[in-house]
Structure 1
Amino acid sequence: MKYIVAHDIGTSGNKASLFSEDGKLIGSEIAGYQTNYFNGNCAEQDATDWWRAVCDSTKSMLNEHKINPKDIAAVSFSGQMMGCLCVDESITPLRNAIIWADQRAAKQAEQIGQHISQKDFYNIVGHRNTPSYGVQKLMWIKENEPEIYQKTFKALNAKDFIVAKLTGNVYTDYSDGNSFACFDLKNLQWSDEIIEYAGIDKEKLPELKPSTFIAGGVLEEVAEETGLAVGTPVVIGAGDGVTANVGAGSIKPGRTYCSLGTSAWVTTTTKEPIFSEKMNTVTWAHAIPGYYAPNGTMQTAGGALSWFKEEVCKFESYLADKNETSPYEYINEQIESSPAGANSLIFLPYLLGERAPRWDENAKGAFIGLKTETTRADIMRSVMEGVTLNLSIILEILREEMEINELVVVGGGAKSPVWRQIIANIFNVKVNTPTVLEEASSMGAAIIGGVGVGMYKDFNVIDDFLEINSVTLPQPENNPIYNKVKALFDEVYFALKPVYEKF
């Protein structure tokens, strides 16, 4: 039996997952690391922590499952995107990595904006010009740490650093190139125009390759440290946002999924980018050559429910501790007792401003419609519905381009049957829930690796990996209720928009 090791290099740690050739998840290991948040808008990580986490989790996992390293057919990667790690020619980090959450490069985004309109930038990259992306962060380093910039051989994202450490070769895939935001989305190449406006040196960017590209074999000098056999093929993989596309089965035009984690997104697959008129969705280069991954990501989805649990649901948390269960069991139970529409209570889930579909950093959360007959159950339900209503706006933008009647839901939030029913009703779709909910990125990376080394003929193999555990159908009787609530949700946001800055 042959196996694939898939790494998902996330924000809080690295998850190493072991998949058998026939698509079974054998096991996984997580090795954590810290993020340094400072100055209100800065977020950095030590890239050597990524390397340690990859090494430790790989060795531990292979040892636990008694796997001969020579039976590993490929190592492949999913990784956090939109970062900037400067390394020298020996692949040694020159400073901490500036990660996706860092917003310090606002001035640099403005500098690019002096040369190109937001609309023209969006129509090249598929994304808005904001401080979130890699090129703006590299511009910040050039301006504020010129000695680091001068020594920089390449600027990398997380997975590309690990691939380079394993093989000695430096590449990135199209999706992570896209996350650097100096990328020509239609032609899958670096954008000379944006690079010129940014004032950076193009040679500091890695060579672009498809996600299935084999970067090389595991070097002898790192084999023992990682627990891998010398020469094991290393496939570069893709950014976590698009490996999840593969792992959730979104491998053909129209196949769509929703990820419900701390943040949440709706993503589909198309043959061409979707450039929305209001620029309220983005498009990624897909992990599958020839496809794109239009997407809308909101800031606080499960994060809003978690906030509510921590700050309001003290009694539910007390009961959960006493009975050794999850507070969400009691929360879900109460939500089911509240009717669709939460008795006309609207929750705006903008606790950290909002990305898609609002793109409003000043947006705030709110409960609108509280009255004396409002119950705790109504308030709880309104939180779930508010998140789902926001996601439904993203879905409707995608529906302008294609028909979407069903989708796969993954992530921690998909564990809740009541939330799945709310999604089915508000989206008016059939909701398919896999058996494994929190492995979409890892599973996608594994399949990319398997296709890369020829273990699998094509990406259709996901249908063997992805086991659907439950199907939730929309309840037609709730359509009139949610149609009214959707309109009210939008109206409430725009009514409050003028006052957000005053907060």
Structure 2
Amino acid sequence: MYVIGIDLGTQSLKGLLVDINGKIIMEANCAHDPVYPYPAWAEQVVADWIHSFKKVVHELIQKSGVAPEEIGTIGMDAINDSIVVIDHEGNPMMNSIIWLDRRAETEIKTIEKKISSERVFEITGLNLDSSHTAAKMLWVKKHHPEIYEKCKNILNVDSFMVHWMTGESVVDYAQASASMLYNVTDKCWDAEMAKVFDIDPQLLGRIGKPEEVCGHLTEQAAKELGLTTKTKVIIGTGDEHSACVGSGLVKPGMVCDITGTAEPVAAVADKPVFDKIGNLVETHHHADARWWLIENPGFVSGGSTRWFRDNIMRYDNYDIMNVMAATSPVGSNGVIFLPCMQGAMTPTWNGNARGTFTGLTLNNNFDDLARAVFEGIAFGLRDNVDRFEEIGMDCSNVRIVGGSTKSPLWCQMKADLLGKPMTATKSAEGAAIGAAMLASVAEGNFKDLDEAAEAMVELGATYEPDVQKKASYDEAYGRYKECYAAMELFFDKCYS
């Protein structure tokens, strides 16, 4: 039977129709944009996601000619650290508060009076940070008690879409591990954290493996999608976790640079690994339930390049931005861009951080600014790879998946900056491929994710580092680190 893999991202929803052998038969996508009602807030109209989902599934079926009854399983991944509050009929009660949102900074300060950040990290593997879902849930409870008291669930986005399809309230280990309500070592909801936040973690649903079939399409969902109630639905996972699966990271000793709206950097481990140097990287579960994922959410990556393209350059495509950036030398003629457009997760976790250009002179031009945007984001990658190595992780095998695979300039820049070879996946749609891999295992098309990876993960170009550029990149990286350290004092003074 065929499967459908769906990747619900910040700016679009992408779908793949995949046959029994793992071959992609058809692709489709539909754009949607978040809304930013106030500074540091970020939301999504939930109906936009449902519209995108239905449009993509209809297009996959209609253009492929595959009969609806031949769709065996749907696999869904979606953005992390985002919540959808639903009533007892499954209807959204407010806009989704998405991962870019930082409105819960005050709530985090309240929690800090109850429990130390060190204890939170020990239990959950996470920083006590407003980006995580428990903080957003607490904000809803405090500011909209009339909604909180009447809701059925507060779900992750993939969990909401699964509920819309099946009526089931479920969450996988990976998404649960990003909540601050989960014990990352014991793989269960944590009573101490639930008490600290005064939130019942069961609001997020029952925990299971992402490839577990949790139900079939309801009659209503099947009708709206143009499918049948024979189609099964798996629990699914987060987009960065799915991207790791889709890039072939299904065993320890591998690192993945995931370039979407954000740029998570993740490494696979066979046991929980905690960053005791400075909590830069967090400890999550992998979408492959055998492993853990040591990762950092990174800077706003594709979100920053899009912002620069749309608001500064005002051109329609990224090709011109790449051409401009290639004209500027390593170090962008002294210009530094800090991509902290919605706070920072690297080189420190700081919700007060803001995006900045510094080092401008009358000699600088668009070429320098364009390159500074690419370099600033790449510096965040180095922050995290350096930390992985400092805590003893193997970073010799680094893969790039996502939008930056379409930019050889950016890929080469990262390889030169790290001084390591980097291999890009052939397809930019790593997360959707990961969702399809999970669905294929559930359907029985492959016995496990290892077999699915052998069949479905295709690698593209490998970028070897130019050793002659390493010294220049080291100098530029040092300036970036000093700039951030100096600006962090200003951020905390003016935006806290």
Q: Same fold (TM over 0.5)?
A: yes
Matching residue of 1:357? 347
Match of 1:482 in 2: 473
Q: TM-score by structure 1 length? A: 0.89
Paired residue for 2:167? 168
Distance 1:502 1:289, change over 3 A: closer
Q: Which residue of the other structure, out of 431, 439, 446, is the alignment partner of 2:436? A: 446
Q: What is the rounded CA distance, in whole Å, between the counterparts of 1:71 and 1:165 in structure 2?
A: 21
Q: Tell me whether 1:103 sits opposite 2:88 in the alignment.
A: no
Query: Quick one: structure 1 residues 215 and 366, their matched pair in 2 at CA, closer, same or farther if it must change by over 3 Å?
Result: closer
Counterparts of 1:246-285 in structure 2, within 5 Å, are: 246-276=245-275, 277-285=277-285
Structure 2 residue identity aligned to 1:466: V
Is 1:180 the counterpart of 2:179 in the alignment?
Answer: yes
Could you report, residue by residue, the CA deviation over 1:284-336 in whole angstroms, capped at 9, with x for unpaired residues? 2110112111112233334444444455546xx4xxx7xxxx4x444434544
**Per-residue deviation, 1:239:** 1.1
Go from structure 1 to structure 2 and tell me whether the alpha carbon gap of 1:11 and 1:123 turns closer, same or farther (over 3 Å shift): same
Aligned partner of 2:412 in structure 1 is 421
Aligned residue in 1 for 2:287: 287
**Which amino acid counterpart does residue 381 of structure 2 have in structure 1?**
L
Q: How far apart, CA to CA, are the structure 2 residues paired with 1:103 and 1:37?
A: 11
Decide which structure has the larger Cα Rg and report it: 1
User: Are the equivalent residues in 1 in contact too, given 2:21–2:445 (CA < 8 A)?
Assistant: no
Residue 32 of structure 1: CA displacement? 4.4
Structure 2 residue matching 1:273: 3-state secondary structure: coil
> 2:263, 2:448 → 1: CA distance?
28
Give the whole-Å Cα distance in 2 for the aligned partners of 1:379 and 1:256.
29
Residue 405 of structure 1 contacts residue 428 of structure 1 at CA under 8 Å; is this kept in 2? Answer: no
Deviation at 1:192, TM superposition (A): 0.7
**CA contact 2:15–2:28 (8 Å) conserved in 1:** yes
| 1:375-394 paired onto structure 2 within 5 Å | 377-394=367-384
Asked if structure 2 preserves the Cα contact closer than 8 Å seen for 1:83 and 1:180, the reply is no
2:285 and 2:2 map into 1 onto residues whose CA distance is 27
Query: 2: distance between equivalents of 1:219 and 1:129?
Result: 38
Q: Could you say what the CA RMSD is over the residues aligned between the two structures, in angstroms?
A: 2.6
Q: 1:84 maps to what in 2?
A: 83
The aligned amino acid for 1:26 is I
Q: Once the 2 structures are TM-superposed, how far is the Cα of residue 434 of structure 1 from its aligned partner? A: 2.2
Q: TM-score, normalised by structure 2?
A: 0.90
Q: Structure 1 residues 114 and 169, CA, compared in 2 at 3 Å: closer, same or farther?
A: same
CA distance in structure 1 between the aligned counterparts of 2:59 and 2:209, rounded to whole angstroms: 30
Q: Is the 8 A contact 1:242 1:284 kept in 2?
A: no
Aligned to 1:430: 421
1:458-469 equivalences under 5 Å are 458-460=448-450, 461-469=452-460
Letter of the aligned partner of 1:433 in structure 2?
A: A
Q: Displacement, 1:73? A: 2.2
Q: Report the alpha carbon displacement of residue 444 of structure 1 after superposing the two structures with TM.
A: 0.5
Q: Give the CA deviation at 1:417.
A: 1.6
Aligned ranges for residues 33-432 of structure 1 at < 5 Å?
Answer: 33=32, 35-276=34-275, 277-310=277-310, 313=313, 317=315, 326=317, 328-342=318-332, 345-367=335-357, 377-400=367-390, 401-432=392-423
Q: Helix, strand or coil for the counterpart of 2:72?
A: strand
Query: Which stretches in structure 1 are left out of the alignment for 5+ residues?
Result: none
Q: Matches of 1:10 and 1:214 in 2, distance apart?
A: 22
Is contact 1:47-1:158 (8 Å) kept? no
Separation of aligned partners in 1, 2:148 and 2:370: 49
Distance apart, 1:181 and its partner CA: 1.9
| Structure 1 pair 140–21 and aligned structure 2 pair: CA distance change class (3 A) | same
The Cα offsets for residues 323-371 of structure 1, whole Å up to 9 and x where unpaired, read as xxx4x44443454444434455544333444222222334455555556
Q: Deviations over 1:76-127 (max 9, x none)?
A: 1101222232334432334443333333333332332222111111222222
Measured in 2, the distance between the counterparts of 1:165 and 1:376 equals 45
2:253/2:397 contact within 8 Å kept: no
Unaligned runs of 5+ in 2: none
Contact 1:37–1:44 (CA<8 Å) still a contact in 2? yes
Given that residues 219 and 231 in structure 1 are in contact (C-alpha distance below 8 angstroms), is that contact kept between their aligned partners in structure 2?
no
1:408 Cα offset (Å): 1.6
For the residue of structure 2 that corresponds to 1:482, the secondary structure is helix
Q: Which of the numbers 489, 492, 496 marks the counterpart of 1:498? A: 489
* 1:253–1:370 CA distance, 2 compared to 1 (3 A): same
User: How far, CA to CA, are the matches of 2:328 and 2:84 in structure 1?
Assistant: 48
Contact 2:254 2:396 in 1 (8 A): no
**TM superposition shift of 1:233:** 1.6
Aligned residues: 491
Shift in CA distance, 222/382, structure 1 to aligned 2, threshold 3 Å: closer
Taking the aligned partners of 1:329 and 1:258, their CA distance within structure 2 comes to 21
